[in-house]
A and B are shown apart, each in its own frame.
Chain A
Amino acid sequence: MKDFGYLAAADVATAVREIRPGAKFLGGGTNLVDLMREGVESPDTVIDISRLPLTGIDTGPDGTVRIGALVRNSDLAAHPMIRARFPMLAQAVLMGASGQLRNMATVGGNLLQRTRCPYFYDGTLPCNKREPGSGCAAIGGFNRMHAILGTSESCIATHPSDMCVALAALDATVEVESVRGTRRIPLLDFHRLPGDTPHVETALEPDELITAVELPANPVAALSRYRKVRDRASYAFALVSVAAALRVEDGRVAAVRLALGGVAAKPWRAVEAERVLTGAPATDAEFDRAAGAELAQAVPQSANGFKIELAKRTITATLRRLAEGTPA
């Protein structure tokens, strides 16, 4: 790892004042330090924000929940109110990483996780995300784990976060701060599809610090679950994941929220499937139809075509279990 400077920020104002090109904020370090060891990230200064007072989980008078950017993943998943009102979020967090990593990893850092594409990590192979213009070794290479939605000819990487998939389904907002003030970015606009600039991954400006994530009150969220399909029982990234909330009234879908993970460079809100489902009979056939509608735009790579079928099946199975009222 390259030598770097270290600065511990005492407050948010100091942190955003000190940030500049070549510097990186350090939260839990579970991803950044890894990338520094691999030589993918090489900041000249690390600004340690882990002591900032951004660790609260608070509920506003209108029911909006504000989660501080430095809330540890373990604390978020264990929070009784989160478990009761947003079960899919608690489940998603618990299905990521390991207990040790979740004890360190923060909410803000989780939003900024970088892809696990092996070609991104291997500095000897081309990767447009790591080195713009160098090419993409994953296209035509080993791409079993890669994206089927929103890809481009520049990049087919996925976003690895589980938490973000739940946040996408829950209409979360990201609060960011810089010397220019505070700004709020809808989560669905926070992560970007690759286009021809896959190295630009989020709407975050280089000088902005994530301070909180907000979840609007949403009664259907209490009827939700997160289903992660992966290659082993734990400690593996999603091949496909589904965050779903469903309320059925008189046999019909009264409200639905659906997002997919492991399929795109961003957590994928299944807008088309939600449109098909809303008001439709809560049956397997309709779930299948909605899943098919969402995946109609999927583009397989050489080795990941199975993800299209897997995503459809996982959507249907997850909605079925919610419709049956099966406990998570």
Chain B
Amino acid sequence: MTLPVHEPGASQPHPRGTGRNPATGTRRTGRHQPRVTTRVDSGEAEQFSVLGRPLDRVDGHAKTTGRARYSAEYAYPNLAHAALVCSTIPRGRITAIDTAAAAALPGVLAVLTHHNAPALKPPQKPTPVNLATLAPGTTVNYLNTDEVHWNGQPVAVVVAETVDIALAAARLVRPSYTELPSTLDFKAAVPDAHPQRRNAMLMPGGGSKGDAEAALAAAPVSVDLRFTTPMHNHNALEPHATTAVWDGDELTVHDGTQNIDWTRRHLAHRFGLPLARVRVISTFVGGGFGGKGSVWAGTILAPLAARATGRPVRLMLTREDVYRTVGGRTPSIQRVALGATADGRLTSLIHTSITQLGRVGGHPEQVVSQSRHLYAAENILVEQRQVDLDAVANTSMRAPGESIGTYALEVGMDELAYRVGLDPIELRRRNEPERNPLDGKAFSHRRVLETFAIGAERFGWAARTPEPGSMRDGRWLVGMGVAAAYHPAWQLPASVTVRLAADGSVVVKCAFHEIGVGAATAQAQITAHALGVPVEAIRVEHGDSDLPAGPGAGGSAQTASVASSLLEACAKVRREVFELAGRSADSPLRGRRLADVRARAGGLFAGAAGETYARILTRAGRSHVDGVVGSTSRLGELADQARFVAKFLRDGRRWVKAASGAQFCEVRVDPDTGEVRVSRWAGVFDIGTVVNAKTAASQLRGGIVMGIGLALGEETLVDPATGRIVNATLAEYHVPVHADVPHIDVTCLDDPDPTMPLGVLGAGEVGITGVGAAVANAVFHATGRRIRDLPITLDKLL
């Protein structure tokens, strides 16, 4: 493993030109004609980087043996337990809360309401000067107000000696309300949809080129389609949990979060504490999917309860509490209209969406995002509108926007392919853009068509007969569908410290998040790659606000974001070690040029001449060398943030960056009952550099599984009369079970993006994109029925 010793930067070319297929462990060579060859033998592998290897997770043993502790598993002495009482009306004011019966239950320590809860500062207004102001999921000042803004808002907290007592007592709390008029029904509110409000921190949702409506009307071939998708909930395995401990006015919080830094800053603000007095620990998180990206009620109410009772308090939400107090994915209504020439060249692409916002929070979902980038239409119109409901604030959920946006766009492309009489892959080939269709920006990297070509080969697309209903297996109707996957690549600021010790061991410190994806493993591999040391010599410390601040785990950006700073920190370490070596006449590196030096075999080498880190540091009398990236002072942080924003904007003007791919789905449909079973899947992805073939494939596969849920089962049912979520349970909210998931063949191009740190584009979200469309297109191929309303349940096929 070697790496040229020079300053890494955003435009640093990736050192490798070859890669491996994570699904098979095979390697391919060459940039444009991938060949799947046999597995590399160990001798050959030595000359390749540790990057990409399918290493087991560094924390896998701790997780599988229960040693890894999650936020509800910290047992403090004298720990008390909290339970939520949530509103049962959608909007109004609390006129009274009868807490007598709850308070009288033996073991109850306190029943906190807006009458007796400690005062909190209200959430700040979002400002680009302080991105942490984006942290709160809602603007509600819980237990500091008599106002109710949605059915399920927490209105009281019971603290008790045991969790069972707390839950039993919570049922005995009786709030009374005066109801106020409310808007609850998403579809009924559509006429009141307003254009997307400009928000300083969000990219504009809309855009246009030419006159798309006129071009649509004039097009020889066209489709004009309406789609709906329902509300979804994340359903991470670990329900949101917070353990809060006060020591005087110092607050320590164990909280399953995707954003430690924002959580810490938000809690400091709400409780009126200096930042230094708040510590947030989130070592392991049992899944997030965006549901833990904002600060929701439980994270605030646990420390509130702890302050009120003087006891450490654990608040683990019930599954029902998660549905009621944490937002999900907005429902959507979408229009996709495509006009084309007779030979399938797009003359018009229109994609518009209506989504929902809570009146007390939520972000406009970027539903049309991919439609700005995927196809070379002459005329384009993309537009987003929103309705305001008295509902729990919506939030990010895996590939917010693209997961449901690709469903509509890619079903539209399939319908157009049938109209034009083209194979759907050929239709995409004819509309592959050279540059970003909307504004002519360059793609940093674009290999969408190659993913289709490889996928077609692996999946056996050529065996498909295009006529709907033409393929059968016994009594089953068989269908094959295809769709593009697309997710933008992001990079966020991160502070990282790397310490190389005289014994050759390395400690990496960064408060990034391990939400189940294998983040520590990936960063250990990147460190091994950059310093030329074995992975076993590296310890990665993460998930604690006492460490240098990491990026949020969102936008598929964490790996690249940490990698950027980590590579810079490692470069600093190498340079300092090189300088130390050069001071000694004994060093074979003396007189060499830094540019000729490679980090490998636990040291620095110029050709065969070199020596180990241990030898250099020991001779220099140094116990360690630190590489520090990122400032710990407030001024330094602001400067870092300004630098980051400047680079972000500069990059955004130059390039469109994205992970992409092709999803291939085979379904079987029972002709009598309409039951749909996904029987085969192949996904081919361009996620840039693959850091760990095993964990990357797992992330992509998990995205596809979640997409199968989106396609076939998942739907949060909101009662239009009361705004109450009716199926707030995993028994009635249908995520896929094992029997719903076939073998999933995952392939990555493993080709670095030239503009991203280490060439990484991100793997967390692109896997779910395109899945809904691939399933819907396969169902059409099997049955001749177009289902434009998710989920595709059997009643829609009868």
Contact = CB atoms under 8 A, between A and B. Distances in A.
B171 interface: yes
B709 to A, nearest CB: 9
A314 B637 CA distance: 65
B795 A306 contact: yes
Interface string B84-100: 00001000000000000
A229 B724 contact: no
B226 interface: no
A318 to B, nearest CB: 9
B201 interface: no
A122 B724 contact: yes
A1 B736 CA distance: 29
Contact of A314 (B673, B717, B795): B673
Contact of A116 (B732, B734, B738): B732
A199 interface: no
Contacts of A180: none
Contacts of B737: 232-235
B739 A119 contact: no
Contact of A231 (B721, B724, B738, B794): B794
B740 A232 contact: yes
Contacts of A85: none
Contacts of B167: 1
Interface string A122-137: 1111000000000001
B731 A142 contact: no
Interface string B656-679: 000000000000000011110100
B798 interface: yes
A141 interface: yes
A1 B674 CA distance: 41
B168 interface: yes
B755 to A, nearest CB: 42
B677 A121 contact: no
A39 interface: yes
Interface string B705-747: 0000000110001010110101101011010111110000000
Contact of B729 (A3, A121, A235, A317): A121
B672 A316 contact: yes
Nearest to A303: B795
A2 B736 contact: no
Contacts of A316: 672
B673 A122 contact: no
Nearest to B86: A124
A229 B675 contact: yes
B793 interface: yes
Contacts of B722: 125
A232 B719 contact: no
B794 A229 contact: yes
A233 B794 contact: no
Interface string A192-207: 0000000000000000
A313 interface: yes
Contact of B798 (A121, A137, A144, A309): A309
A144 B795 CA distance: 9
Interface residues of B, number: 32
A137 B717 CA distance: 14
B56 interface: no
Given A116-B731, A233-B677, A233-B737, A3 B168 contact: yes
A107 interface: no
A317 B673 contact: yes
Contact of A232 (B672, B721, B727, B739): B739
B798 A118 contact: no
Interface in B190-239: none
A310 B734 contact: no
A178 B168 CA distance: 33
Contacts, number: 75
Nearest to A234: B739
A39 B673 CA distance: 36
B164 interface: yes
A231 B726 CA distance: 17
A116 B730 CA distance: 12
A70 interface: no
A185 interface: no
A86 B649 CA distance: 70
A118 B673 contact: no
A118 B732 contact: yes
Interface string B153-177: 0000000000010011001000000
Contacts of A137: 719
Interface in A271-328: 306, 309-310, 313-314, 316-317
Nearest to B795: A306
A139 interface: no
A148 interface: no
Nearest to A307: B795
Contacts of A144: 795
A79 B731 CA distance: 28
A239 interface: yes
A236 interface: yes
Interface in B730-783: 731-732, 734, 736-740
A3 B729 CA distance: 24
B740 A306 contact: no
Interface in A222-254: 229-236, 239
Contacts of B727: 118, 142
Interface string B784-798: 000000000111001
B169 to A, nearest CB: 10
A239 B719 CA distance: 21
Nearest to A235: B737
B719 A1 contact: no
A122 B737 CA distance: 25
A142 B726 contact: yes
Contact of A313 (B673, B712, B729, B739): B673
Contacts of B736: 232
A36 to B, nearest CB: 10
A141 B719 contact: yes
B545 to A, nearest CB: 35
Given A142-B719, A233-B737, A310 B726 contact: no
A122 B726 contact: yes
B793 A310 contact: no
Contacts of A3: 168
Contacts of B734: 231-232, 236
Contacts of A235: 737
Contact of B795 (A118, A142, A233, A310): A310
Contacts of A1: 164, 167-168
Contacts of B726: 118-119, 122, 141-142
Residue of A116, A118, A123, A239 with most chain B CB atoms under a 10 A cut-off? A118
Given A144-B795, A233-B740, A317 B672 contact: yes
A166 B604 CA distance: 74
Nearest to B718: A142
A3 B162 CA distance: 12
Contacts of B171: 39, 123
Contact of B794 (A141, A310, A317): A310
A101 to B, nearest CB: 11
Given A39-B171, A310-B798, A234 B738 contact: yes
Given A118-B732, A119-B726, A233-B737, 10 more contacts: A118-B727, A141-B726, A232-B736, A232-B739, A233-B677, A234-B740, A235-B737, A239-B795, A310-B673, A313-B673
19 contacts: A1-B167, A39-B171, A118-B717, A118-B726, A123-B171, A124-B88, A141-B726, A142-B719, A229-B794, A232-B734, A232-B737, A233-B740, A234-B740, A306-B795, A309-B798, A310-B674, A310-B794, A310-B795, A317-B673
The 10 closest A-B CB pairs, nearest first, are A233-B739, A306-B795, A317-B672, A124-B88, A234-B739, A313-B672, A118-B726, A235-B737, A233-B740, A229-B673
